Amino acid sequence: SDHMLQYPAQPSDFDVASHYPAFKDSGKRPEFADIGCGFGGLLIALAPLFPDTLILGMEIRVQVTQFVEDRIAALRIKQKSEDVKDPVPGKYENVSVIRGNAMKFLPNFFEKHQLSKIFFLFPDPHFKARKHKARIISPTLLAEYAYVLRPGGIIYTITDVKDLHEWMVKHLEEFPLFESVDEDVLLREGHGGILEAVKTSTEEGKKVARNEGSKYLACFRRLPDP
């Protein structure tokens, strides 16, 4: 249950300085959101690729969120130490995590059009039909994702569960503010590093690879408001 969670009353209450001290005077806000970030593999992989972009993971499990927080803190400290010969771009100052239920109050965290990318990597499948309403992609939630994602922004989804893949594709394609975008188009536009991270960087993605499971990728572009 999430009745103990603290939500900002409005996006301006989100404390950039505490999450990204190095950016406290930058005027920047998180632009990439990793929904259900788990142990944070994507955040860590993207951090050096986008050193000037603030990236935020959202995770509902307390211990897992704490793990990611500690992981980022440790990486930042290590990057600051003298014996790091080749510090990575951004030194992990640009990634952070919050505990929260992404199915509730997402617009409390992000302003309209604040995000340029939203990631749903290996979301919980909720196999049974009566549990489908618990899925992170649904018509109601898509309206919220469309609100926080700017026109031209991209939603990345990947799963090893074919039924969930088809479900996400169906709902995203039916939603008027998203259009499907092929992987090779994204590659040509220079999103190769992101796609690689989406497929291979997360703990769940690695587990699927170890078990030689399939990975179904689907990406969608946010269309302009009508």
Active site residues: 124
Task: Tell me how far apart the alpha carbons of residues 221 and 210 are, in angstroms, rounded to a whole number.
Answer: 30
Least distance in Å: CB of 121 to ligand SAM? 4
Q: Segment contacting ligand SAM (CB under 6 A): 15-23, 46-54, 57-65, 189-197?
A: 57-65
Asked if residue 60 lies in contact with residue 99, where contact means CB atoms within 8 angstroms, the answer is yes
The site map against ligand SAM for 99-138 (x = CB under 6 A) is: --xxx-----------------xxxx--------------
Q: Is 64 in the site for ligand SAM (CB under 6 A)?
A: yes
As beta bridge partners, residue 99 has 59
Closest CA to 222 of 190, 169, 162, 181: 181
Least distance in Å: CB of 125 to ligand SAM? 8
Size of the site for ligand SAM (CB under 6 A): 20
Report the relative pairing of strands 149-159 and 216-222 from DSSP bridges.
Answer: antiparallel
Q: Is 80 in the site for ligand SAM (CB under 6 A)?
A: no
- The amino acid at residue 107 is P
Least distance in Å: CB of 29 to ligand SAM? 19
Kindly tell me the sign of the dihedral angle through the C-alpha atoms of 222, 95, 36, 99.
Answer: negative
* 108 phi and psi angles, rounded to 5 deg: -75, -20
Per DSSP, helices labelled H in 49-191 are 62-80, 106-109, 139-148, 162-174, 183-188
Q: Segment contacting ligand SAM (CB under 6 A): 6-14, 84-92, 198-206, 215-223?
A: 198-206
> Which is closer to ligand SAM, CB of 23 or CB of 39?
39
Residue from 111, 144, 183, 203 touching ligand SAM (CB under 6 A): that is: 203
Least distance in Å: CB of 13 to ligand SAM? 19
The CB density around residue 181, as the number of other CB atoms within 10 Å, is: 17
CA 100 to chain CA centroid, nearest Å: 13
The SS3 of residue 162 is: helix
Q: Is 58 in the site for ligand SAM (CB under 6 A)?
A: yes
Least distance in Å: CB of 179 to ligand SAM? 24
Helix 192-200 and helix 203-210, axial crossing angle in degrees, nearest 10: 70
For ligand SAM, the binding residues in 162-191 under the rule CB under 6 A are none
> Which is closer to ligand SAM, CB of 41 or CB of 153?
41
- The amino acid at residue 100 is G
Binding site for ligand SAM (CB under 6 A): 36-38, 41, 58-61, 64, 101-103, 121-124, 202-205
